[in-house]
Amino acid sequence: MTRHAGHPDPLSVGDTVILMDRKGRRFMLELTAGEDYHFHRGIVHHDQLIGLPEGSTVASTMGAKLTAVRPTTTDWTLKAPRGAQVVYPKDQAMIVTLGDVVPGSTVVEAGAGSGALTCALLRAVGTGGQVLSFEIREDHAAVARKNVVRRMGEEPANWTLTVGDLADGLAGLTCDRLVLDMLDPWSHLESAAQAVNPGGLVIAYTPTITQVMRLREAMAADERFGLTSTSETLHRTWNVDGLSVRPDHRMVAHTAFITTARRMVPQG
């Protein structure tokens, strides 16, 4: 069982927990009876945490104060092991929103990467939908599977992970949404047009503007795609400390462009 942040149960054996120090540094661990967590400010005994309400503070053997909470989606994304570069939370949210990924929908995803976006898609489609993920690299697929199982508590029954090329796997599939997190999404537009239901959406996640230009050119030349839009999302936090209010010096700026297009029916 995976208990979400704010679950009423106390911290329990098997829970994944984030320990936060005074400087906001986060350390993620899985609670196991009798185990210890070692870090640069001493040792925290897991038994200190088991049974406490979420949000409690404990002290390490060196006196460091650490607050224990269950991880949010952002924590999972930033702290989980990685195979490929993860899709950041700001982009996960926009892919789900701009792609209109709704409960009950069928989503095909390529590639699975480290599983961060996969988890966001699974939560968006709910138990009545399904996510079909493709990952061409076996090592990345192994990391994605491990992260999804850990995040969701088990391997979801409505999730299929295929190690292979989307070009081979998309034939014969039908879906409501197609998410392309790959170098050459334009190469799959013919298969996408066959797989995505009319009115459905193709969502491409591409790091560079040259990729966007090539994709948009290919979509513009194909009447089966329309209502095309490209955007990027910038995330800036603020420092609020009494009268000291200013933007933080660092921000998560450009990560990738998100291009969406509707599957249309050509006239004539």
Residue 35 lies in a domain: yes
Please name every residue paired with 44 in a beta bridge, in sequence order, or none if there are none.
37
In a domain, 4, yes or no: no
In a domain, residue 8? The reply is: no
pLDDT for residue 86: 87
Q: Are residues 222 and 100 in the same domain?
A: yes
Q: Are strands 196-206 and 175-180 parallel, antiparallel or unpaired?
A: parallel
- Asked if residue 33 lies in contact with residue 45, where contact means CB atoms within 8 angstroms, the answer is no
In tens digits, the chain (268 residues) has pLDDT values of: 789 999 999 999 999 999 999 998 999 999 999 999 999 889 999 999 999 999 999 999 999 999 999 999 999 998 888 877 889 999 999 999 999 999 999 999 998 989 999 999 999 999 999 999 999 999 999 999 999 999 999 999 999 999 999 988 898 899 999 999 999 999 999 999 999 999 999 999 999 999 999 999 999 999 999 999 999 999 999 999 999 999 999 998 999 999 999 999 998 6
pLDDT for residue 70: 97
The answer to whether 182 touches 166, Cβ cutoff 8 Å, is yes
- State the pLDDT at residue 15: 95
Query: Are 106 and 120 contained in the same domain?
Result: yes
Q: Looking at the domain assignment, is residue 7 inside a domain?
A: no
Same domain (yes/no): 169, 40: no
- 206 lies in the same domain as 237: yes
CATH code of 223's domain: 3.40.50.150
Residues 66 and 86 both lie in one domain: no
Which tokens belong to 222?
């194909």
Q: What pLDDT shows up at residue 85? A: 80
At 199 the pLDDT is: 97
Q: Supply the range of the domain harboring residue 39.
A: 16-71
pLDDT at 236: 95
Q: Structural domain tally of the chain? A: 2
- pTM of the shown model: 0.90
Q: In 3D, which of 16, 66, 12, 13 has the Cα closest to residue 39?
A: 66
For 188, the token pair is 């799959």
Say yes or no: 44 and 101 in one domain. Answer: no
| Omega cis (within 30) before 111 | yes
Determine the Cα–Cα distance for residues 15 and 3; give it in Å rounded to an integer: 7
How far, in Å, CA of 176 to CA of 100, rounded? 10
Whether 239 is covered by a domain: the verdict is yes
